[in-house]
């Protein structure tokens, strides 16, 4: 099913949510890397030049400030996506057979993206996946931020330390999505124009 008003690829509300999300997510990533460096999970740390906040307290302030922007923006995006019907006609139906076919075509360099108003199956799965990763970030972040206030959630996630790993791996997967997303934009630059102009 084609999107209504097919001449508009991205409505104004979606474009606003996209760019607010990009700014908030960048702030959360760079400040989160500084927070990670204060108590690393693994035997590496992020270069200080790629972090935000200057010190742990500053990074926490940036992280929490961007958290509110990201959370509110995400709620607006999800609400409008459901109410407008955009999620239904953009992401459904899902098909494993179509996903396999699109992955094979992508690996062969033959996956086309001529119609920007329609997502192929790889895009559908990727966008739905990153939404789920965002939910994972939110839930694990609540445990890290207010562990005492969310004891049931902490237990469901396997405890405080497990929530740290969930938060880290969700962040890593989101960064991977962003890298692939940016590469695809470079390969099909008119998608960037559509995210600015809507058409």
Residue 9 is given by DSSP the state S
Answer whether 0.85 is exceeded by the pTM: yes
Q: pLDDT tens, position by position, for the chain (199 residues)?
A: 444 444 678 899 999 999 999 999 999 999 999 999 999 999 999 999 999 999 999 999 999 999 999 999 999 999 999 999 999 988 888 888 988 988 888 787 777 766 777 888 888 999 999 999 999 999 999 999 999 999 999 999 999 999 999 999 999 999 999 998 898 888 778 888 888 887 7
- Say what the pLDDT of residue 1 is: 40
> With b meaning 16 or more CB within 10 Å and e meaning fewer, what string describes 25-44?
bebbbbbbbbbbbeeeeeee
- Say what the pLDDT of residue 7 is: 65
């Amino acid at each position: 099913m084609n999107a209504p008003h097919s001449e508009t690829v991205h409505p104004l509300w979606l474009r606003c949510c996209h760019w607010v999300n990009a700014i908030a997510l960048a702030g959360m990533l760079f400040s989160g890397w500084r927070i990670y460096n204060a108590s690393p999970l693994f035997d590496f740390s992020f270069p200080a030049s790629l972090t935000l906040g200057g010190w742990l307290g500053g990074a926490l302030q940036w992280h929490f400030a961007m958290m509110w922007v990201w959370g509110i923006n995400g709620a607006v995006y999800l609400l409008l996506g459901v109410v407008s019907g955009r999620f239904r006609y953009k992401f459904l139906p899902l098909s494993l057979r179509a996903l396999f076919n699109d992955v094979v075509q992508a690996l062969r360099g033959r996956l086309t993206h001529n119609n920007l108003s329609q997502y192929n199956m790889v895009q559908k799965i990727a966008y739905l996946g990153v939404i789920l990763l965002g939910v994972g970030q939110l839930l694990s972040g609540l445990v890290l931020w207010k562990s005492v206030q969310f004891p049931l959630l902490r237990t469901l996630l396997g405890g405080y330390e497990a929530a740290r790993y969930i938060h880290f791996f969700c962040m890593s997967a989101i960064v991977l999505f962003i890298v692939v997303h940016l590469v695809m934009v470079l390969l099909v630059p008119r998608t960037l124009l559509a995210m600015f102009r809507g058409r």
